[in-house]
């Protein structure tokens, strides 16, 4: 279980919901990490010089330590440490595939034919009371129909 203890601060990092407290803990942990890395570099230099190793070997060892630190920092604070919806993660990684079947394409060169459909006389009467049905002005339905000829 991951817990954070600091003077005047003690809480569980895994269950803490207060963003400001988590931000403070992250800043303190980052500062402590930098201090420890500087200490490791200093001690590595002392050890290598005590063992009589040359500057080139020392430089290679320091580069390896820095690479390991960058890798671990990436694991801790990288993109995978924040859980995001899958769609958000994919947006930056790869383009979306083209979608199919989402609405008709415009066909400006097709000939159009307007047809008005009217009701026959028996359909102009109310089926319940037998009264006459009247057309409501300004209310109509519009539809497009495409006949495919192969």
pLDDT, mean of residues 79-97:
61
How confident is the prediction for the chain on average, in pLDDT?
Answer: 77
Single pTM value for the model: 0.35
Q: Give kind and range of the element (H or E) at residue 12.
A: strand 9-12
**Where does the pLDDT of residue 27 fall: very low under 50, low under 70, confident under 90, or very high at 90 and above?**
confident
Helices (H), the chain: 19-50, 55-77, 86-93
pLDDT at res. 129:
92
Q: Give kind and range of the element (H or E) at residue 9.
A: strand 9-12
pLDDT, mean of residues 83-96:
62
Whole-number Cα distances in Å, 88 to 63, 76, 82, 85, 98: 34, 20, 12, 6, 18
Neighbours of 114 (CB within 10 A): 4
42-57 pLDDT per residue, tens: 888 788 777 777 777 7
Task: Select the more confidently predicted residue: 148 or 8.
Answer: 148
């Amino acid at each position: 279980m991951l817990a954070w203890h600091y003077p005047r601060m003690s809480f569980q990092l895994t269950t803490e919901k207060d963003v400001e407290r988590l931000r403070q803990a992250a800043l303190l942990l980052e500062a402590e990490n930098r201090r420890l890395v500087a200490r490791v570099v200093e001690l590595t230099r002392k050890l290598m010089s005590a063992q009589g190793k040359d500057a080139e070997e020392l430089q290679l060892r320091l580069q390896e330590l820095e690479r390991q630190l960058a890798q671990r920092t990436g694991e801790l604070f990288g993109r995978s440490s924040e859980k995001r919806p899958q769609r958000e993660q994919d947006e930056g990684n790869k383009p979306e595939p083209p979608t199919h079947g989402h609405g008709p394409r415009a066909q400006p060169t097709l000939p159009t034919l307007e047809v008005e459909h009217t009701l026959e006389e028996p359909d102009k009467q109310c089926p319940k009371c037998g009264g006459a049905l009247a057309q409501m002005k300004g209310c109509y339905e519009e539809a497009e129909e495409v006949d495919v000829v192969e």
